[in-house]
Amino acid sequence: MIQLIEAGHTYKVHGIKGDLVVDFKKTLQKHILKTGVVFIKQEGNAVPFFIESVKGNDEFLIKFKEVDSPEFARKLSNQIVYIDSRNLNAEHLNDEEPDENNALLSFVIEDVVSGFKGRIKDIEEFPGQLMALVEIGEKEVMIPIHEDWIVKIDEKKKQIQVELPDGLLDL
């Protein structure tokens, strides 16, 4: 039985032959282009569409077989694209794009001045600033990840030594 997972999204119609602009999850692109088939739900049913031609590298211009008019393609625009997950390798099953900030999760952050220690629970990106959500016992605090404050990073021990400005932890 087919096991569908979300693999991307169709956007607008392009040209007069029924091409569609499609964006696939980066981890699934090679698999999709190799198999040449995706599923789009129509009236509640997953309908297979076979890829006839592909143009582009990140955002693709896809021509599906049997889709030969802008009117038909418009019915497929702005839809979620699915694939059958039964033939995927484990590396493709990761829903999210790789996130380099997740590499810091579970690191212990230690202030060399105050002796404060806490485990990084999450990394959040704010405009112009990465913030570590640090767990200290029952409490959570946000600490800016600023390169000028980092003294040392030990990846083997999963530790980050920082020199935080006075009063930052008192907020």
User: CA-to-CA distance for 64 and 38, rounded, in angstroms?
Assistant: 10
DSSP 3-state of 87: helix
CA distances from 46 to 39, 49, 84, 96, 128 (A): 6, 10, 10, 23, 42
Average pLDDT over residues 23-34: 87
Average pLDDT over residues 10-35: 89
- pLDDT tens digit sequence for 31-86: 888 889 999 998 888 899 999 999 887 678 999 999 999 999 999 999 999 998 87
- Positive or negative, the Cα torsion across 89, 91, 92, 93? positive
Q: Model-level pTM?
A: 0.53
Tell me the Cα Rg of the chain: 23
Going by C-beta distance under 8 Å and a sequence separation of 6 or more, which residues neighbour residue 50? 36, 37, 64, 65, 66
Structural domains in the chain, CATH included, are 4-93 (2.40.30.60), 100-170 (2.30.30.240)
DSSP 146-169: -TTTEEEEETTTTEEEE-PPTTGG
